[in-house]
């Protein structure tokens, strides 16, 4: 079941980034729906609705946004051509309504990715390989599927975000926190207040 999850994620992200046709945001949304349905087949997500969890998730999204804001300012001094690569990330959304991007990220991609990557994959891998092993494997694979983008900054961004959410899951093991954090962060950074 874990091998199947790896294969499905690799295929989904390979098609999303590798196939030039279609709308990028629709493709990533469909890829996330695919891996989420796979995880739901094997395991029902454990989500407890609490205001405190929502607040922690929202605050963690703000912290991650700040990390990326600072990273954007430092990137040109560390990576040559960083600005062009950041522009390449945002160019993926050209021609797509910001409202549509927001809705897809907030209601589909953010929740789906956390249900799959942390609630299912990291959870299963931690059971098999221990907390640290499960966290590391999930984070590396999460960043790894972004290799298909060919954008070094996007791969590093996925590693940073994946590490952040992976550590958050290690700390709280609370999917509502995860979903709130990922959904707010991605919707804001890609459609409301880009860091570039």
Which two three-digit tokens encode residue 106? 């907030």
Q: Whole-angstrom Cα distance, residue 110 to residue 114? A: 6
Q: Whole-angstrom Cα distance, residue 151 to residue 147? A: 7
Please check whether residue 181 is in contact with residue 60, taking contact to mean a CB–CB distance below 8 angstroms. yes
- 3-state class (DSSP) for residue 195: coil
Residues near 156 by Cβ (< 8 Å), separated by ≥ 6?
A: 143
pTM for this prediction: 0.94
What pLDDT digit, counting tens, does each position of 10-24 carry? 999 999 999 888 899
What pLDDT digit, counting tens, does each position of 67-121 carry? 999 998 888 888 777 677 767 777 777 788 999 999 999 999 999 999 999 999 9
Please check whether residue 153 is in contact with residue 82, taking contact to mean a CB–CB distance below 8 angstroms. yes
């Amino acid at each position: 079941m874990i091998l199947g999850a790896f294969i499905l994620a690799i295929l989904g992200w390979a098609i999303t980034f590798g196939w030039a046709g279609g709308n990028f945001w629709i493709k990533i949304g469909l890829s996330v729906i695919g891996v989420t349905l796979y995880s739901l087949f094997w395991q029902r997500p454990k989500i407890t609705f609490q205001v405190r969890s929502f607040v922690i998730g929202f605050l963690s999204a703000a912290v991650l946004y700040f990390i990326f804001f600072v990273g954007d300012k430092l990137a040109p001094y560390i990576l040559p051509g960083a600005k062009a690569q950041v522009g390449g990330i945002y160019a993926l959304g050209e021609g797509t309504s910001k409202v549509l991007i927001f809705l897809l990220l907030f209601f589909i991609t953010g929740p789906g990715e956390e249900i799959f990557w942390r609630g299912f994959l990291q959870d299963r891998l931690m059971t098999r390989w221990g907390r640290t092993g499960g966290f590391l494997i999930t984070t590396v694979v999460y960043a790894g599927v972004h290799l298909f983008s060919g954008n070094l900054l996007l791969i590093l961004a996925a590693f940073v975000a994946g590490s952040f959410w992976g550590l958050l899951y290690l700390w709280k093991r609370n999917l509502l926190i995860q979903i709130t954090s990922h959904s707010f962060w991605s919707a804001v950074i890609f459609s409301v207040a880009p860091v570039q």
